[in-house]
Structures are given as C-alpha cells and as structure tokens.
Amino acid sequence: PNLFVGTGGDGHTYPGPTLPFGMVQLGPDTDVERWATCSGYHHGDSSIMGFSHTHLSGTGIGDMLDVLVVPSTGPVKLIPG
C-alpha cells in the first residue's frame, strides 16, 4: 500500500499510525503555518521539522497545532529547511 496517498495537494492526511481509537497519531511535521500542512505533513515539503503525536487527518483545517518533538543537537530551528 502507498502510505503517502492524500499527503500532497489538498488531501490533508498524514502518513502515520493511529491507535488506540485515534487518541495517538504519531507522524512527521513539515510545517506549521501553511494551510497545505494543516495535518502536519505535506508530501511536497523538503524537510521534516520534527514529530508530534496529535494529528487530525483529512480535516482541511488546522488542529490548534501540535506539541512538536525535535530530536537534535545545537540550537533549535523553527523555520523549515
């Protein structure tokens, strides 16, 4: 199966697991400001900012953003790229 169906264009879905009953939805975040990335992930973006656990898939509207976990060393970068 193609995990990236609906992650580009206006699909607003994220490529991650959901369990139990949709309470945890772990997935990558590529941007937090554009309408195209309101599910947290957009297939056309070239970088991953971090990972969060509370995505809404297919809504077409932002979900009050997510708590972003960023595995890194050095200064925190909040601008994609």
Question: For residue 5, how many other CB atoms are within 10 A of its CB?
Answer: 11
> What pLDDT digit, counting tens, does each position of 13-62 carry?
878 787 777 778 888 888 777 777 777 788 888 888 888 887 777 777 76
The CA-based dihedral angle spanning residues 72, 76, 77, 78, taken in that order and rounded to the nearest 10 degrees: 110
- Who wins on pLDDT, 22 or 74? 74
Q: Which residues contact 36 (CB under 8 A, 6 or more apart)?
A: 10, 42, 44
pTM score: 0.69
Determine the average pLDDT of the residues in 62-73. 71
Q: Please check the confidence at residue 64 and state whether its pLDDT lies above 70.
A: no
Q: Please check the confidence at residue 4 and state whether its pLDDT lies above 80.
A: yes
